[in-house]
Amino acid sequence: MKLVILDRDGVINEDSDEYIKSPEEWVPIAGSLDAIARLHREGYKIIVATNQSGVARGLFDSDTLGRIHAKMLELVRLKGGEIEAIFFCPHGPDDGCHCRKPLPGLFEEVMERLKINLHRVFVVGDSERDIIAARAAQALPVLVRSGKGERTLKKSTQLDGVPVFSDLAAFTEALLTGELKAS
């Protein structure tokens, strides 16, 4: 199965240190929806795996999160793409859950639901948490400079061997032209 797993905030949509709390605040990064549509047309299944601690923090509720995701799905479909599933952790950093990245719980859920391993699956994120979680799930981490990616490049010590791209569109181009290979 051709599969790519994407973080949401900072990879698909603009990120905010104040959180994305409403559908109106959810704004796609230029080229990201086209990239998802392109991957879909090339036979890739797209999964989103995202921490959403704003739910635990009381900044928005699960219904609002559902409306944000419905907007994302609709805009992707309008571009001719499809997102297979969205896996999210609604917990805060001190809740002790296993699904919050950098722990691999979200990826373990993907593996269980799809009955696959992630050994040759790219996980595209913009934070050190995404890289650590992908490695823990034995997936192939990729960092994008969008979102918090530039900040991650300056601070992280976890990036040895991790391919870095300007954004999701650049990653997609490299993957589909064969410049980037799952090894």
The answer for residues whose C-beta is within 8 angstroms of residue 85's C-beta and 6 or more apart is 47, 48, 110, 113
Whole-Å CA distances, 175 to 16, 150, 151: 27, 21, 24
Largest Cα–Cα distance in the chain? Answer: 43
Residues with catalytic function: 7, 9
Name the token pair of 98: 């296993």
Element (H, E) at 4: strand 3-6
